[in-house]
Each structure stands twice: as C-alpha cells, then as structure tokens.
Amino acid sequence: MDVAALAGVSAGTASKALNGTGQLRAETRERVRRAAEQLGFTPDPLGRGLSSGRSYTVGLITTDSFGRFSIPVMLGAENALGAGEMSVLLCDSRDDPLREQHYLRTLLARRVDGIIVTGRRTDPRPRLAAPVPVVYAFTPSQDPRDTSLVADQAGGATAAVQHVLDLGRRRVAHVTGPADHHATQVRRAAVERTAGGALVGPVLHGDWSERWGRLAADLLLRRHPDVDAVTCGSDQIARGVCDGLRDAGRRVPQDVAVVGFDDWDVIALASRPPLTTVNLGLEALGRRAGELLLEAVAGDPSPGTTTMPTRLVVRESTVAV
Amino acid sequence: MDVAALAGVSAGTASKALNGTGQLRAETRERVRRAAEQLGFTPDPLGRGLSSGRSYTVGLITTDSFGRFSIPVMLGAENALGAGEMSVLLCDSRDDPLREQHYLRTLLARRVDGIIVTGRRTDPRPRLAAPVPVVYAFTPSQDPRDTSLVADQAGGATAAVQHVLDLGRRRVAHVTGPADHHATQVRRAAVERTAGGALVGPVLHGDWSERWGRLAADLLLRRHPDVDAVTCGSDQIARGVCDGLRDAGRRVPQDVAVVGFDDWDVIALASRPPLTTVNLGLEALGRRAGELLLEAVAGDPSPGTTTMPTRLVVRESTVAV
C-alpha cells in the first residue's frame, strides 16, 4: 500500500502534498501527510529506500551537454521531482551511443526508480531498453508506445505566420536551419500551409547561426526586394536577419517584420529590435515530464506522445513602438 | 588498504587508470587494475559502496541554475569524475540559502563521498558545513582553509590591456559591470594597473548586457572622441560596444580595438567583428575540481585557493584581417 492509495488521491496529488507544491486544499495535504506518517514514511531517503524498495533517485540523460534546450527541461523536471524529495542523477551522453549505454548501466546499478531522457534535437530517437519507467522530454522516442513529451512546433510556426498576416504582410519569406533536421521540416511545413500564396520562395536553408541570418537577408533582398515579413527557424537566424536588413537600409518592423523561434532571452532581447518569437515552453514540458515519471514510478504510466503548447511572444521586431 | 596504496600510486593516478583517462604507462594502468581485482573492486557501484563504505556518488551544488558559468565547470568535473565511475547528484540551489541547506541534507542522507560547489559569481561565499570533502569551483569559499579553485581574472584583464598596448593603442577605456561585483573589481584593478596613463577615465559601470555596451559606446565617444581601445567586463558588453561604435561611424578594430571577457562563443563569435576576449578556462577548472575532490575523498586533501590560468583569444575585434 502506498501513500497515495491510503490517502485516496492520485500519485501526482500525493507528490504535490508531500513536496508542499501545487494548488491543493489544506485538508487534502493533511490527509496525505497522515497517510505518509501511518506508513512510516520518513524524510530519510535511505531509510525510505530500504523499506519501499525504491531509491527515490531518478536518472536524467541529456545528449547535448546541458545546452540551450536541455537546461530548461532539466529545471522543470527538477521542480516536479520536488527539490530533493527525489534526487536527480545527471548523465551527459554527448550524442555518443556508447556513452549512453554506459550511463544506462550505471543508473540501473544504482537502482534508479526511473529515467528522463532529453536532448537538443526533436528527431525521434531510439528507445532506451530499461526495466524502469522512462519519459522522453523534447526529443521523443521512435516507439509511439513510449511516454514522450514534445513541443508543439507546428503550432508555434503557424502562430508566427498568422501574426504577420494579421499585421497585413503579404510577402512572407522563411529562413531556417538545415533541411534534414526534424525541427526544420515541421516548422517549414506549418509555415507553407499557413502562408499559402503569401509565401515568397524558395525557403532558405542554412545553419543555426546569426551569420547565416545576415547572409540570408542579403540573398532575400536580391531575389524579393518587396519582401515585407521574414519568419525564421531560430532566434539566432532572426537576429542575423534583422542586422542584415538594417545594413541594407530596411527598417524592422516598418519595412520588414521579423519573427524568431525559441525565445532564447540572450539572443531575443539583445536583438535590434527585440524579437517577436515562439516560446517553446520547455520548463513546463520538463515539469510535466517529471510528473509523468513520478506517476509511472507509482504504477500509473501514460504511454503515448503528448504535445505541449508553445506560444508567440510579441516584441518590437513585428510591431513598431 | 585501498587500490592506490596497494598499487603504489597516488589516488589521482589510480583514478585515471581505473577510468581509462589521462596519460599513463600501460604498466601503471595494469598494476592498478591488478590491485583493484585483488581488493575485490567491482564495477557494481552498490557492491563497492557496501564493501568500501563509500557511495561512489558526489553532489554538485550550483547556485545559478546551470548557466553560462556553471555548465562548463560541471562538464569538466564530470570528465574528471570518470563518466559514471563516480556518479553526480545534481542540485540547483538558485541562490537560495534555504534551498541549499535542504540539498545539503539530502546529499548527506545519500552518503555522498564529497561535494563540488559552483556558481555564477566570483565573490567568496559562506562555507558549507559538511562532514565530507568539499571543493569550491569558480566561486570560492570565504574560509581560506577550504579547497577553492578560482579563475585568474586579474591575469586575463592584464593580458587584454597589454594586448591593446602592444598594438600601439594609447587611449584605452574600460566598460564593465556593476561596481559592487567582485569580478568587476578584480578586473578593473588589473586594467587600471596595466593601462596606467593610457587609461581614459572614468571607468564606466552598468549591467552585464549588450544594451549597456551600446549606451556606453555612445557616452564614451562624447567624452573621449579620441578613444582607440575599449576593454570590456564581458563579451555581451563588448558586443554592444562594437555595435555602438559602428553605429557612430567608427571602424572596429581600425579606429577602436575592442576586447571582451568570458569567451562565450554564442556572443563572441556572432559579434561583428568576432571578439578578441579572455577565455576563463572553466572546463579545465571544473576538471581540476573533480580531481581534487577525488584526492580529498581518498584522504589526500588540498586546502587553500588555487588560481587557474585564463588566456587571451585574439580575433578580429583587435586585429584587422
């Protein structure tokens, strides 16, 4: 019998009550606390581990050395896992399958209760063969029966294009990253669908850098001097596009509106002007991954892929102040 | 008797041999392997933990939510700790002393062998009252008897100024961060010492942003239209200074040489032109922190503060191509 069952609440509610997080009625919190006490639940993780067969430890495997995307996911997961109620063992596989196998063995030898897998890419990845629950965050599993959480990139790209159309722009270009990246393809398809006849083609593919954005602005003005909006595959590209347009004497947003993607504050806020962009909601995604892992560890798994919302953040690169 | 003693090598050498890292003779590596075998050393961490009284787990407490400074330190530490030979339990205290105390209790309840503490600031911080070895990386302890590793910020600032003096610049300004930050003070003192009569004052203090760099460039040109070099407190400030100077019609580096600080690739390489800057050597600092912690856990502590080298990286913001 576990605490949640005894208190008559879900595992997620029990976790919130014990961690002092979330919005719960005082009575619920108290009921969970009494149930925990009755079951000899103690804040000593080793003591608990011995009595419950659980280690109160989860592994977090990231493929991208704690970069731009995995860090907010990790922060969100850590919030959900309750700031020490569950401890997080960190593994950086650096995109190396052998290193990942090594880490998986290490985590299992330490009897982790579950594993969260994250990374930089949104291309589905091979599943991890583990005898404990696994939740894939941002980078989904190739197996649709696994529990994966992905950001709604298509929704974000659609909102970006709809925003510039709403502003009356009718000559919309798309400048983005490498054509073989999943993120590029999903966003591009949504842009093409939403812009329709307003899209001035072809879509420009390059790397995920400001330098590419500057070059692309130059190319774009040669091909389509009447372009009045550019949606970009990343904030770095969008910042470069803004600089390139300004160097060519175009005003952003009066002559050309520019939209980024990612809402990476270091880039989006320093850009001239600050970027309208799509926030990927990574921290919320990581938090949900932590919650789903807790539920799966408690015997209540959620197979399948969940798409988490993204949102457009409007700043001066599309609306003049 | 431990493996290192039986093999007749230092704890650091034994660790390298067992982790397959470092530069060791094959004979040394084999001697350590035999000693490990003889002592029943097994790759199962729980088995080992039970027999040795060690958990083969270390805690890493960061105060800055895995940011620009703690990530490379963490990567370096993880390298030294041997990719799973020692596992790393991650704690993000978010600059909150209560949260830090909570994490410390959690780590100790999990019987960690040692703790690495890191953060964003270089101001000395209160020591952690822990019964296991602690190494302070980048952010030193206030207690000089603790084991702290700091980056040679003064050396970096000196090299930056010497570089522009070597290029023949004689009107050097300094634009930096908040006056009450330790990092600002140490770098500023080194700049003043090295520049001497070439310093055009006063030093300009603002926040650590590109926006401040752009404003500072404007201020600077009004006060000192003949300025021919600007050393900055960060890459973000330096990038803003470059943009501000260019907007005012000055060429970088022909008219004004600009030097950053940090070597943060996202900023330094995207800057126009790419920034000459001071690399803080954070990954090497983290690696050394991991090594010192392993040695301390093995009974060979290194009390005191070690200053790790920084180095000037020359790019186009000081030398025209």
Q: Which residues are registered as beta bridge partners of B141?
A: B125
**Cβ contact, residue pair A270, B210, below 8 Å:** yes
**Which residues of chain B make contact with A74, given a CB cutoff of 8 A?**
66
C-alpha of A211 from chain center: 25
Based on the fold, state whether residues B81 and B16 are members of the same structural domain: no
Q: How far apart are CA A223 and CA A240, in angstroms?
A: 18
In this structure, the answer to whether residues B118 and B210 fall within a common structural domain is no
Peptide bond into B202 cis (omega under 30): yes
Shortest Cα–Cα distance, B60 to chain A (Å): 10
User: Is residue B48 over pLDDT 50?
Assistant: no
pLDDT score, position B47: 41
Using CA atoms, how far residue B101 sits from A103, A104, A195, B127, in Å, is 28, 30, 53, 12
**Sign, Cα dihedral of A251, A256, A260, A263:** positive
Residue A83: pLDDT over 80: no
Highest mean pLDDT among B59-68, B99-108, B124-133 belongs to B124-133
> Scanning the structure block, which residue is given the tokens 């160097």?
A247
Residue B321 is assigned to a structural domain of this protein? no
A chain contacts of residue B243, beta-carbon cutoff 8 Å: 272
In 3-state terms, what secondary structure has residue A278?
strand
Q: Which residues in chain B are contacts of A266 at CB distance < 8 A?
A: 236, 266-267
Whether B320 is covered by a domain: the verdict is: no
pLDDT-derived band at B107 (thresholds 50, 70, 90) equals confident
- Is B177 within a domain? yes
Does residue B172 share a domain with residue B195?
yes
pLDDT at B18: 62
Residue A222: is it exposed, middle or buried by C-beta count within 10 angstroms (0-12/13-18/19+)? exposed
Place of tokens 């003949």: B226
Is B45–A109 a contact, with Cβ atoms under 8 angstroms apart? yes
Query: Domain limits at A73?
Result: 45-151+282-309
Q: Are both B225 and B190 inside the same structural domain? A: yes
In CATH, what number is assigned to the domain containing residue B58? 3.40.50.2300
Q: Is residue B314 part of a domain?
A: no
pLDDT, mean of residues A53-59:
81
SS3 A263: coil
Region A123-131: what's the mean pLDDT?
A: 93
**What is the rounded distance in angstroms from the CA atom of residue A173 to the CA atom of residue A187?**
13
In angstroms, the separation between the Cα of residue A264 and the nearest Cα of chain B is 11
For residue A183, give every residue at least 6 positions away whose Cβ sits within 8 Å of its Cβ, in sequence order, or none: A121, A122, A123, A153, A177, A233
Q: What's the distance, Cα to Cα, between the start and end of chain A in Å?
A: 60
CB neighbours of residue A79 within 10 Å: 18
Dist. CA B85–CA A172, nearest whole Å = 53
> pLDDT tens for residues A205-251?
999 999 999 999 999 999 999 999 999 999 999 999 999 999 999 99
Is pLDDT at B134 greater than 90 in this prediction? yes
Query: DSSP 3-state assignment of A310?
Result: coil
Q: How many domains does chain A have?
A: 3
- Inform me whether the pLDDT recorded for B319 exceeds 80: yes
The pLDDT assigned to B82 comes to: 67
Same domain, A72 and A110: yes
Q: Which residues contact A263 (CB under 8 A, 6 or more apart)?
A: A235, A277, A278, A279, A280, A313
- The chain-wide mean pLDDT, for chain A, equals 88
On whether both B170 and B195 belong to a single domain, the answer is yes
| Residues A226 and A82 occupy one common structural domain | no
Same domain, B58 and B126: yes
| CA neighbor of A18 nearest in space, from A43, A52, A55, A38 | A43
Contact yes or no for A111 and B46 at CB 8 A: yes
Beta bridge partners of A137: A118, A149
> Which two structure tokens, joined as six digits, stand for A296?
């799966």
Closest chain B C-alpha to A310 CA, distance in angstroms: 22
Question: How far does A153 lie from chain B, in Å, by closest CA?
Answer: 23
Report whether the peptide linkage leading into residue B253 is cis, meaning its omega lies within 30 degrees of zero: yes
Cβ of A66 and B65 within 8 Å?
no
Report the alpha-carbon distance of residue A12 to residue A15 in Å, rounded.
Answer: 5
Name the residue in chain B with its Cα closest to that of A247. Answer: B247
Does residue A289 belong to any structural domain of this protein? yes
Q: Which of A109-113, B121-125, B130-134, B221-225 has the lowest mean pLDDT?
A: A109-113
Q: What is the mean pLDDT of residues B154-181?
A: 97
CA distance A189 to B171: 54
Nearest-by-Cβ selection for A75 from B44, B65, B239: B65
Residue of A nearest to B68 (CA): A67
What would the two tokens of residue A7 be? 């208190």
Same domain, B296 and B257: no
Question: If pLDDT is split at 50, 70 and 90, which confidence band does B282 have?
Answer: very high
pLDDT of residue B73 exceeding 90, the answer is: no
Other C-beta atoms closer than 10 Å to the C-beta of A319 total 13
Q: What pLDDT sits at residue A46?
A: 42
Q: Within this chain, do residues A172 and A262 fall inside the same structural domain, yes or no? A: yes
pLDDT above 90 covers what percent of chain A? 63
For the segment A22-26, the average pLDDT, to the nearest whole number, is: 76
What is chain A's Cα-based Rg? 23
Q: Is residue B255 part of a domain?
A: yes
ipTM above 0.85 for this complex: no
Which tokens in the block code for residue A59? 């592994």
Which is more confident, B110 or B6? B110
Q: What is the pLDDT of residues B18-30, one digit of tens each?
A: 656 667 877 887 7
**pLDDT tens by residue, B249-270:** 999 999 999 999 999 998 999 9
Please give the average per-residue pLDDT across B212-217, as a whole number: 98
**Has residue A321 been placed in a domain?**
no
Angle at A288 between CA A282 and CA A290, to 5 degrees: 105
Q: Within this chain, do residues B55 and B172 fall inside the same structural domain, yes or no? A: no
Please compute Rg for chain B using Cα positions.
23
**Single-letter code of the amino acid located at B292:** L
Q: How many other CB atoms sit within 10 Å of the CB of residue B260?
A: 31
Tokens 């009252």 map to which residue?
A: B129
C-alpha–C-alpha distance, residues A162 and A181, integer Å: 23
Residue A316 lies in a domain: no
A75 and A133 fall within a common domain:
yes
